[in-house]
């Protein structure tokens, strides 16, 4: 495959390192550790390309899907992690291959606005935000960031805006987050495309199956991302060369010995000690209102809240964004992100904060789950590039945190076979 063909297939994901062992393609048996979205996608893509290759998914829990799950209750539907997909043909290709076209829709075009709450006032994120940051300061900081290994706080010259960006993605403040990891296109991390970005973008747009997304839109799946995981697991279960084994896995070396394969035949799709062993934790709450209670809350995607004195770091307008219903008729649903490092642990403090930002007396208020996210400290992506791994590493922990990255990375792995 030519360099241009790769960039047309994968776009800016080509900037992110693919951490693989060069002997992977010689495997006679493939062991994938971790049955989350990363592991499932790798198994699906490789198994389809190599039906002769035995593939074992080694998962420590009884259920697959990892961090991808969807909470449902009496007509309320709320994702606990990713709830939508930004435009990238790899995700569209997966949906198409899984025959999920009928439940895959573009997002509500009215609900595109994003805000940051600064000093008690909401500021809409747009190109005008550049002027709040100072165009010259921003240009200089972007130019400086291209030396590599800097923090997001050094890339975006406004702490509240920088913190908000990081909290909305990795639940950490900007001085603790690698700018290359979060914004590789801005920092020009990795290789550059072989032709102008505008020309490449046109070529990429021609590869979308199902429908070509309009600028600024995202897309989602009816009944939440759990629909994707369930269909992926179902299709994998019909593949004769793939099996799922339940069990703990502490290292690639131990897994390789267990299955009598070289470590080069192991794809590690779970957290590992090769990355920072530090994590940040957050709780997710669902809060719902009757429409008339929140008629003063503008339709949108959500609000980021960098103020550390508030327990809520972000409010996602869950029922505004999607084409499919996420709340009972006449109601709206919001997802609250609550980092543990800025929360006293009492549900009531989250409720009071949410009521002050949205409306009082919600008809639904429930904690629906918890999540742990690795810390991507400055220099993280450079460290991943310099690895000389004994196995292949894929997933959220290593070179990208979006659902797009996970799905596209699986395609890139399958191309090695």
Same domain, 28 and 175: no
In terms of residue numbers, what domain contains 152? 126-186
Same domain, 134 and 258: no
- Asked, for residue 247, whether it belongs to a domain, the answer is yes
- Asked, for residue 36, whether it belongs to a domain, the answer is yes
**Confidence at residue 130, expressed as pLDDT on a 0 to 100 scale:** 67
CB atoms within 10 A of CB 160: 19
- Asked, for residue 89, whether it belongs to a domain, the answer is yes
Q: 216: buried, middle or exposed (CB in 10 Å: 19+, 13-18, 0-12)?
A: exposed
- Asked, for residue 200, whether it belongs to a domain, the answer is no
What is the mean pLDDT of the segment spanning 384-388? 94
**Confidence at residue 135, expressed as pLDDT on a 0 to 100 scale:** 83
Same domain, 97 and 213: yes
Nearest of 298, 285, 296 to residue 76 by alpha carbon: 285
Summarize pLDDT for 192-226 with one digit per residue, the tens. Answer: 999 999 999 999 999 999 999 988 889 999 999 99
Two structure tokens written together for 391: 């196995």
- Asked, for residue 174, whether it belongs to a domain, the answer is yes
In the chain, pLDDT over 90 holds for what percent of residues? 86
- Asked, for residue 320, whether it belongs to a domain, the answer is no
- Asked, for residue 225, whether it belongs to a domain, the answer is yes
pTM of the model: 0.95
| 332 strand-pairing partners | 289
In the chain, pLDDT over 70 holds for what percent of residues? 99
279-299 burial, b at 16+ Cβ within 10 Å, e below that, comes to ebebbbbbbbbbeebbeebee
pLDDT band for 167, please (50, 70, 90 cuts).
very high
Same domain, 89 and 7: yes
Same domain, 171 and 225: no
Please count the structural domains in the chain.
2
Same domain, 155 and 37: no
């Amino acid at each position: 495959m030519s360099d241009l063909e790769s960039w047309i297939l994968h776009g800016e994901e080509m900037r992110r390192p693919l951490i693989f062992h060069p002997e992977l393609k010689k495997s006679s048996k493939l062991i994938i550790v971790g049955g989350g979205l990363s592991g499932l996608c790798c198994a699906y893509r490789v198994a389809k390309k190599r039906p002769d290759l035995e593939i074992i998914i080694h998962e420590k829990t009884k259920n697959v899907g990892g961090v991808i799950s969807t909470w449902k209750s009496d007509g309320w539907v709320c994702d606990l992690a990713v709830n939508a997909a930004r435009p990238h043909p790899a995700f569209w290709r997966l949906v198409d291959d899984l025959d999920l076209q009928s439940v895959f829709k573009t997002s509500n075009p009215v609900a595109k606005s994003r805000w940051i709450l600064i000093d008690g006032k909401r500021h809409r994120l747009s190109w005008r935000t550049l002027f709040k940051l100072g165009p010259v300061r921003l240009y200089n900081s972007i130019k400086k960031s291209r030396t590599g290994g800097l923090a997001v706080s050094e890339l975006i010259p406004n702490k509240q805006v920088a913190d908000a960006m990081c909290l909305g993605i990795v639940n950490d403040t900007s001085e603790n987050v690698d700018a290359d990891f979060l914004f590789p296109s801005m920092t020009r991390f990795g290789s550059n495309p072989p032709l102008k970005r505008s020309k490449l973008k046109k070529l990429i747009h021609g590869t979308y199956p199902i429908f070509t997304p309009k600028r600024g839109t995202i897309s989602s799946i009816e009944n939440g991302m759990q629909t994707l995981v369930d269909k992926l697991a179902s299709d994998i279960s019909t593949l004769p060369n793939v099996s799922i084994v339940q069990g703990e896995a502490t290292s690639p070396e131990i897994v390789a010995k267990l299955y009598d394969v070289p470590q080069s035949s192991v794809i590690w799709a779970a957290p590992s000690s090769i990355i920072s062993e530090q994590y940040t934790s957050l709780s997710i709450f669902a809060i719902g209102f009757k429409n008339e209670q929140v008629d003063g809350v503008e339709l949108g995607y959500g609000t980021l809240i960098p103020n550390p004195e508030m327990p809520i770091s972000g409010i996602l307008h869950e029922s505004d964004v999607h084409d499919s219903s996420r709340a009972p008729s006449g109601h709206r649903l919001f997802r609250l992100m609550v980092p543990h490092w800025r929360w006293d642990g009492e549900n009531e403090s989250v409720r009071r904060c949410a009521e002050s930002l949205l409306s009082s007396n919600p008809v639904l208020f429930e904690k629906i789950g918890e999540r742990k996210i690795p810390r991507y400290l400055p220099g993280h992506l450079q460290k991943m590039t310099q690895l000389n791994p004994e196995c292949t590493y894929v997933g959220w922990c290593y070179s990208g945190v979006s659902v797009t990255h996970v799905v596209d990375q699986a395609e890139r792995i399958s191309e090695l076979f």
